Structure 1
Amino acid sequence: MAMAADEIEALIRAAIPDATVEITDLAGDGDHYAAHVTSESFRGKTRIAQQRAVYDALGGRMGGVLHALQLTTAVPN
């Protein structure tokens, strides 16, 4: 079962309210996405901690309904 891009975005925004989220469907199949997430809450955190926050926002859907997510995180300039 595939997951819609807007659902991924909504889950991330619910957990990280100030986030700017860009989702791209890489394969057109609803299973392989790229996400670019920018948030002030990432400031001072390691890249791993930033990405963990995003994966936590997805509530265990990685590897299940969401097969693959190429994730990039950043702090606003």
Structure 2
Amino acid sequence: MAADPTHIDALLRAALEPTYLTVRDDSAAHAGHAGAASGGGHYDVTIVSDQFAGKSRVTRHRMVYDALRSLFPVQIHALAVSAYTDEEYQSR
């Protein structure tokens, strides 16, 4: 069973206190894909948080994955992450 995007949103908000967050469910675009057979969904997350300041891209992704750990691999099969500080997001 795929995760509900609102549940992903709530977990990320609780853990990382973002100033901006979008969670997009891309599962329909992956229908028939082997990973989709297990029921896990494909999601795209854009998140802006002060907690990312001074952190590498890899560390930021780990922070997001850690916040969603309870959903892997059954409810989330694939997750694309774009993680920024406020300053980075405003200047992109």
User: TM-score scaled to structure 1, two decimals?
Assistant: 0.87
Contact 2:2 2:74 (C-alpha < 8 Å) held by counterparts: no
Match of 2:22 in 1: 22
Structure 1: runs of 5 or more not aligned: none
> Equivalent pairs: percent with the same residue?
34
Structure 2: runs of 5 or more not aligned: 32-39, 88-92
User: Which of 57, 61, 73 in structure 2 is aligned with 1:51?
Assistant: 61
Match of 1:72 in 2: 82
SS in 1 for 2:72: coil
Q: Distance in 2 between matches of 1:18 and 1:63?
A: 24
Q: Distance in 2 between matches of 1:61 and 1:73?
A: 19
**RMSD value over aligned CA atoms?**
1.7
Please identify the structure whose Cα radius of gyration is greater: 2
2:2 is the alignment partner of 1:2? yes
Equivalences, count:
77
